[in-house]
Amino acid sequence: MQLIDIGVNLTHPSLARDVRALLERAHAAGVCQLVLTGTNLEDSEKALLAAEQLDESGLRLFSTAGVHPHEASDWNSDCERQLRVLLGEARVRAVGECGLDFNRDFSPRPQQEKALEEQLALAAELGKPVFLHERDADERLLAIVREFRDRLPAAVVHCFTGEKRALYGYLDLDLHIGITGWICDERRGIHLHDLVRAIPRGRLMLESDAPYLLPRSLRPKPRHGHNEPAFLTEVLREVALHRGESQEELARHTTACARAFFGLPAID
């Protein structure tokens, strides 16, 4: 059984201290490929470098490159130029993490929207899929992405935590959906139990978002308290339970979906 973790913050200090052992544990758990998330230009460069240095085969580690809405205040024409260069690298498979966050509003909303629009334009020009972030902003995100959708090869709303209205809006735009350990959280993720049934095969992918979102249902819990890709099996278990699928079946179609979305090579 193979799994692909489409969202790993591998450059985070809590993971980088023992990264080779972390990757060995992921491989032992069946997580055969990982997409490392870039959240700003410096982090995107680090993610690419990590993928190159830690994967001599060129088959297992890939990355994204983009500017997160929290960092949108720093977006300018020079950022666009640097991002374009990064997106030309073979291992960089998607634009992002980009999007809108009206929950924390670390950057002014007009600047978030401008940074998103310009990254979507770049993705459309380069023919790259998009790795999207959204918190409390589904209506604006839908309105903006809709203007670009016909020119984008694909886009995934990563770490989906929203309500039915948002999910159906994204599915109507033919977007993909990423599910994390949020679904394992009995305090705030129970609404996802019903919603994951509505996501068609070919549009659903799994992700850890490590080191964040340690599945609360995981037993035993790690002493360090951080999430890691090896724990994607707990997300698989929970999603399979609520979709009424076997874990093997869910792993098969979500892995095929992620491989097609990011253009990843097959692994024997």
Per the CB < 8 A criterion, the answer to whether 8 and 26 are in contact is no
**Annotated binding-site residue? 209:** yes
- Cα 83 to chain centroid distance, Å, stands at 18
DSSP of the chain, one letter per residue? --EEEEEE-TTSHHHHTTHHHHHHHHHHTTEEEEEEPP-SHHHHHHHHHHHHHH-TTSSSEEEEE---GGGGGG--HHHHHHHHHHHTSTTEEEEEEEEEETTT-SS-HHHHHHHHHHHHHHHHHHT--EEEEEES-HHHHHHHHHHHGGG-S-EEETT----HHHHHHHHHTT-EEEE-GGGG-TTT-TTHHHHGGGSPTTSEEE---BTS---TT-SSPPTT----GGGHHHHHHHHHHHHT--HHHHHHHHHHHHHHHHTPPP--
- At a CB cut-off of 8 Å and minimum separation 6, what does 110 contact? none
**Annotated binding-site residue? 136:** no
**Annotated binding-site residue? 158:** yes
Per the CB < 8 A criterion, the answer to whether 232 and 207 are in contact is yes
Angle among Cα 129, 63, 134 to the nearest 5 degrees reads 55
- Specify binding-site residues for a divalent metal cation: 97, 133, 158, 209
Q: Which residues are annotated as a binding site?
A: 97, 133, 158, 209
